Structure 1
Amino acid sequence: MDIYQHYRKEEHAFIDKVLEWKAAVEFQYSPKLTDFLDPREQEIINLIIGDHSDVQVKAFGGSTTSERKRVLIYPSYLSPTEEDFQLSLYQVDYPSKFVKIEHPQVLGSLMSIGLKRSKYGDILLDDDNIIQIVVSKEVDGFIEVNLQSIGKASVTLKKLKLEDILVQKEEWIEQSVSFSSLRLDVVISSTFQLSRQKAQAIIQNGQVKVNWRIVENASFECKEGDIISVRGHGRLKLLNNEGKSKKDKLRYTVGKQK
């Protein structure tokens, strides 16, 4: 059976990588630790390797609620611990009484110092203006030396124990939405009550991600389980297909998250 037929074309390169990792673990009898992966990539690894008798998979990103995680692919005789995931937790110290820092600014600053997105996990913020960053332990020295400002604020980094990580719960508000089709622009306009033209402009401006990948094609075909992020509007997830409405439209249970 062709493994690729169950996945979108843009996922095929990652599937090849997963198959290589699996084969290396089987052949060398040693574990493979990945960089940080998004939830869709984690799902693909679990689907491909699954409950393989000789090779196992475990993911960890700092807490039970982490979104981005490093994945350990390992021989079944090993028993991984948290230390095996090589994670570091930093808190960003800055003049929070005078400056407000938001998630996109932290992300932009990390990218501007030349740190690949795969080298850091979740960026955590709370209502008390506390900011934490989970990073791969191998880049500790690099981030400590190079991350000196975020936006217009000077910052310093304080290393914490993983047990001090902010735990953020994911809450989805469910509702039933009708779509004339599963085109990306239709799904966005119907869910967020925007005009089709507005939805198309947002997509074409690179402000939409499907399963953590930027999609600029308004006619992109969505499917059940997709998570769609729309900058400035939040995230939605196509949860369940409810069949067709009396007007022959597609009805879906949709989860919305601000």
Structure 2
Amino acid sequence: MFDREKLMSHVEDEEEELTIASTLDKVELALKRHEPTFTNFLNPYQRSLLNPILDQIYDLKYREYGKFKQAERKRIGLMPDYYMLELVEEPLAVLEIKGNFKFESVSHRDFLGAILGTGIKREMVGDLVIGSNKCQAIVAEEIKEYLTLQLDKVHRVPVDIEEISQERLEVAPERIKKIKSTVASLRLDSVASSGFTTSRSKMAKEIKAGNVKLNWKVENDSAKIVDIDDIISIRGRGRVEIDKRLGKSRKGRIKLVLKRYI
């Protein structure tokens, strides 16, 4: 079917090994039963690990599901290569959680905490779209009924839950700001400080504290070298991508075009 040992031979991190191994288990099941199987929700870093591996399995077809293009958390559907994608039912549901939060300040953390408080694991929950007095939660299809029955309050406020269509998702359009900058080097702290408009020393502290991700994985090394298409992100502050290198300035600094996703 496929050489599992060969596909995993380069993996050393224990957590990454578990993610890949559990996905390959689902691949085996899909090919054996001749029907689609689905991973749990995966973050962009986990998917970046899996995609090159799945590409090597010649009789496999796969597709990502997140309900909207820029969704951060997505499930991967795995199926035999002859399977028609049109026949695959999307393994997601959108639940709208509404309450009278006029006198309460509720956040992404409050809604997520309430959902997980019902006993649901994080890997069964995708992106949350927060609006006025409500949250539109993308969840695994198989838990929607349980969550609808079990979740009755968020931050002490009673809530009502209904399943809604994808068309009713209120996702704000992604805003991109292009920044032209020069840096002394392509060190992470230098590029990130330019992209997030802060001092290099403050950014170095953010990196050391584990608040900065490079290509969706926490990076603690301020001196880590970054390059074109690398993505630097800080929770609550968006992300920055290196779009272009424009050579060097007269003073020998590297000229960059950065894309800041707000």
Bin for the TM-score computed over the shorter chain: 0.7 to 0.9
Q: Residues of 1 paired with 2:208 and 2:153: CA distance? A: 31
Map 1:106-145 onto structure 2 (within 5 A): 106-126=111-131, 128-145=132-149
SS in 2 for 1:190: helix
Q: How many residues align?
A: 256
- Separation (CA, whole Å) in 1 of partners of 2:143 and 2:255: 46
- 5+ residue gaps in structure 2? 1-5
TM-score computed with the length of structure 2 as normaliser? 0.78
Which residue of 2 is the match for residue 198 of structure 1?
A: 202
Q: Which residue of 1 aligns with 2:193?
A: 189
Matching residue's letter, 1:69: K
Question: C-alpha separation between the residues in 1 aligned to 2:189 and 2:14?
Answer: 19
Change over 3 Å in CA distance of 1:181–1:112 after alignment to 2: farther
1:238 has 2:242 as partner: yes
SS at match of 1:131: strand
Q: Distance in 2 between matches of 1:238 and 1:8?
A: 28
| TM-fit CA distance, 1:95 | 0.9
Query: Aligned partners of 2:60 and 2:143: how far apart in 1?
Result: 28
Q: Secondary structure of 1:84's match?
A: coil
- Determine if the alignment matches structure 1 residue 37 to structure 2 residue 42: yes
**Distance in 1 (alpha carbons) for counterparts of 2:52 and 2:128:** 27
- What CA distance in whole angstroms lies between the structure 2 residues aligned with 1:30 and 1:47? 22
After TM superposition, give the deviation of residue 134 of structure 1 in Å.
0.6
1:87 is aligned, of 74, 78, 92, to 92
Aligned partners of 1:167, 1:232: CA distance in 2, in Å? 16
* Structure 1: stretches of 5+ with no match in the other structure: none
Task: Tell me the amino acid that sits aligned with residue 174 of structure 1.
Answer: K
**Measured at CA, do residues 152 and 236 of structure 1 come closer, stay the same or move farther in structure 2, by a change above 3 Å?**
farther
Aligned residue for 2:255, secondary structure, equals strand
Which of 209, 223, 226 does residue 222 from structure 1 map onto? 226
Percent identity over the alignment is 27
Residue equivalent to 1:102: 107
**Is the 1:4–1:12 Cα contact (8 Å) retained in structure 2?**
no
TM-score norm. by structure 1 comes to 0.79
Partner of 1:63: 68
CA RMSD for the aligned pairs?
Answer: 3.4
Task: Tell me the equivalent position of 1:78.
Answer: 83
TM-superposed CA distance for 1:41, in Å, is 3.5
